[in-house]
Amino acid sequence: MCRNIRVLFNFEPPVTDAEIAAAALQYVRKVSGVVKPSKANEAVFQTAVAEVTRVTAELLAGLETTGAKRTREEEAAKAKARNVARFGARD
């Protein structure tokens, strides 16, 4: 999956509509192989982004968990630690 798509479920504060839309855009870009669609494909591209955004919001609203809420700061720290382990520390 695309590395730019982040986990959106179980955050405090809750994920925003903008975060869901950004993930949907990244997903549609990845599966279509298109970063900026041509004029001929613009409408279908935007429709796909809107539908993925809608379905993702429904999914997140319907999921349940007993796990502790995530914070963006903790997730960023975990990602940084994975990056250091993978590529080494940068000076």
- Within a domain: 60: yes
Please give the full DSSP string across 56-84, using - where no structure is assigned: HHHHHHH----SPPB-HHHHHHHHHHHHH
What is the spatial distance between Cα 33 and Cα 20, in angstroms, rounded to a whole number? 20
- Within a domain: 27: yes
- Within a domain: 24: yes
- Within a domain: 11: no
Please give the full DSSP string across 7-41, using - where no structure is assigned: --SSBSSPPPHHHHHHHHHHHHHHHHT-SS--TTT
- Within a domain: 69: yes
- Within a domain: 4: no
Cβ proximity of 75 and 9 under 8 Å:
no
Q: What is the pLDDT of residues 31-90, one digit of tens each?
A: 999 999 999 999 999 999 999 999 999 999 999 999 999 998 998 899 899 989 989 887
Number of structural domains found in the chain:
1
- Within a domain: 10: no
Range of the domain at 41: 17-87
Q: What is the pLDDT of residues 1-18, one digit of tens each?
A: 456 678 899 999 999 999
